[in-house]
């Protein structure tokens, strides 16, 4: 899938034609905002993969090769917590950058709106975990579904919607 996406992106979108960054992207905020987002996205992806491992272990698939369900559940929680922290930092710094570049902290741009949806999803997951005891298969399925939402926010928004974050 990744190779197919890269091929499509390179051919259909003329990605091989490198252009200078637009002025809004020529900022030191980019050095904080973008890496923090990627750490958040990566942590959310890790939590989904651990969620898949949890569901496999629960069903007896590769059960002898995987850690215990409690360990998988704990790693899933910690990965979401780390991702949420970094994604929150990225969103705050993104708002500060937006104020500098576009004159406002928040404009309900599709990318911003979907980032809020991602943030609310994982805030709800953590809330349910910490206050309601969310664990097990429900937490794993939620983490996996959260990755679909996150993937759309990261890739799909730029492919299918336009706004301030559309630079191509």
**How far are the Cα atoms of 21, 57, 83, 84, 122 from residue 30, in angstroms, in the given order?**
11, 40, 18, 19, 23
CA dihedral 39, 40, 42, 48 (to 10 degrees): 160
Q: What is the pLDDT of residue 116?
A: 97
Q: Contact 76/139 with Cβ under 8 angstroms?
A: yes
In this predicted model, which residue has the larger pLDDT, 24 or 147?
A: 147
Longest C-alpha distance within the chain, in Å?
Answer: 56
Confidence label for 30 from pLDDT (cuts 50, 70 and 90)? confident
CB-based burial label for 18 (10 Å; 0-12, 13-18, 19+)? exposed
16 pLDDT higher than 60: no
Q: Cα(46)–Cα(51) distance, rounded to whole angstroms?
A: 8
For residue 154, what pLDDT is reported? 87
Whole-number pLDDT of residue 156: 83
| Distance between CA atoms of residues 66 and 73, nearest Å | 12
136 in Cβ contact with 73 (< 8 Å): yes
Domain ranges for the chain? 34-157
What is the model's pLDDT at position 52?
A: 98
* Residues 54, 140 contacting (CB under 8 angstroms): yes
């Amino acid at each position: 899938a990744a190779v197919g996406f890269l091929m499509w992106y390179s051919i259909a979108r003329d990605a091989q034609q490198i252009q200078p960054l637009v002025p809004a992207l020529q900022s030191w905020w980019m050095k904080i905002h973008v890496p923090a987002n990627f750490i958040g996205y990566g942590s959310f992806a890790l939590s989904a993969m651990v969620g898949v491992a949890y569901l496999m272990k629960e069903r007896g698939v590769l059960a002898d090769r995987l850690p215990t369900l409690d360990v998988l559940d704990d790693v899933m929680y910690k990965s979401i917590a780390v991702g949420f922290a970094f994604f929150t930092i990225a969103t705050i710094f993104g708002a500060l950058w937006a104020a500098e570049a576009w004159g406002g902290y928040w404009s309900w741009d599709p990318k911003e709106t979907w980032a809020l949806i991602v943030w609310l999803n994982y805030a709800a997951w953590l809330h349910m975990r910490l206050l309601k005891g969310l664990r097990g298969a429900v937490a794993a399925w939620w983490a996996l579904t959260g990755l679909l939402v996150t993937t759309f926010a990261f890739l799909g928004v730029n492919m299918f919607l336009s706004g301030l974050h559309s630079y191509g």
